[in-house]
């Protein structure tokens, strides 16, 4: 059996073999607004070394700014802005030590639960860009107060950004739910891996329909580890991804 450090070393060598070749680029995207690059506080990277490996691989694809968004959810990840910002500062120092020239900022990916309602009421949400707040909900079960929560966010001065809308199974059978949420001025942040069906075949179909209907404001990596890198290489070559280059995505204005 391998120890943790030995296994990480083996995996690192394997994934480096699939790192993007020179000149292979995400093209029109320069800023990634959804990632899990702070070690040890959610299901993302486990160490600063792993974070740097992921960042340098994405940098090789053309990204030069990262807004990392750790999970905040009552049942698993009760992270605070203070913890997130402190770790983000540490990551900046580690990148500087390695002479890696990228910009790092932080926000959060909020699970819409009771704790989120409390944070919203106290107006203490972490934002990015023009007061954007990245949120997610259950993939399988509809939330009874989803639209009310979006409205309450807007009344509090926040701009709701729905993370990976293409992954919510409870909306698959009724696309009108997407139209309804989109019509409520909720911004959609699609996952790059969904363009090649990394999460499911159905999520790929939904993302293609969202793109066809111009229902996209952001594209985020939502990267947790190196496993997604080779899928990104295929995603950026899809016609749906290329079609988004004609849209006014918000990523690069962040």
pLDDT at 75 over 90: no
- Gap between the Cα atoms of 205 and 173, Å rounded: 12
Place of tokens 């990634």: 32
- Whether 18 is covered by a domain: the verdict is no
DSSP code, position 20: P
Give 3-state DSSP helix, strand, coil % of the chain, rounded to 5: 45, 15, 40
The pair of three-digit structure tokens given for residue 100, joined into one six-digit string: 């890696």
- Gap between the Cα atoms of 193 and 232, Å rounded: 6
- Whether 16 is covered by a domain: the verdict is no
What is the model's pLDDT at position 165?
98
How many structural domains are present in the chain? 1
- Whether 19 is covered by a domain: the verdict is no
What is the CATH classification number for the domain harbouring 36? 3.20.20.140
What is the model's pLDDT at position 9?
41
Mean pLDDT of 53-72: 97
pLDDT tens-digit readout, 220-243:
999 999 999 999 999 999 999 999
- Whether 224 is covered by a domain: the verdict is yes
Report yes or no: 63 and 102 within 8 Å, Cβ to Cβ.
yes
- Domain extent at residue 159: 25-253
Report yes or no: 32 and 69 within 8 Å, Cβ to Cβ.
no
What is the model's pLDDT at position 246?
93
Report yes or no: 91 and 48 within 8 Å, Cβ to Cβ.
yes
- Whether 158 is covered by a domain: the verdict is yes
């Amino acid at each position: 059996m391998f120890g943790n450090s030995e296994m990480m070393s083996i995996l690192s060598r394997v994934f480096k073999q699939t790192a993007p070749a020179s000149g292979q680029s995400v093209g029109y995207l320069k800023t990634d607004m959804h990632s899990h690059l702070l070690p040890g506080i959610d299901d993302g990277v486990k160490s600063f070394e792993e974070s740097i490996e992921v960042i340098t691989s994405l940098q090789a694809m053309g990204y030069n700014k990262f807004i990392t968004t750790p999970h905040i959810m009552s049942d698993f990840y009760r992270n605070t802005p203070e913890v997130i910002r402190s770790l983000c500062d540490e990551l900046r120092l580690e990148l500087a030590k390695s002479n890696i020239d990228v910009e790092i900022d932080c926000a959060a990916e909020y699970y819409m639960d009771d704790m989120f309602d409390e944070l919203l009421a106290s107006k203490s949400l972490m934002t990015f860009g023009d007061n954007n707040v990245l949120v997610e909900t259950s993939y399988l079960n509809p939330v009874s107060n989803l639209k009310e929560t979006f409205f309450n966010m807007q009344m509090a001065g926040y701009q709701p950004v729905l993370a990976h809308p293409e992954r919510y199974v409870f909306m698959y059978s009724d696309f009108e739910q997407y139209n309804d949420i989109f019509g409520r001025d909720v911004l959609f942040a699609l996952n790059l891996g969904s363009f090649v069906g990394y999460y499911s075949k159905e999520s790929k179909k939904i993302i293609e329909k969202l793109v066809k209907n111009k229902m996209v404001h952001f594209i985020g990596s939502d990267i947790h580890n190196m496993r997604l890198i080779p899928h990104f290489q295929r995603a950026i070559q899809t016609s749906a991804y290329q079609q988004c280059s004609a849209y006014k995505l918000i990523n690069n204005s962040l």
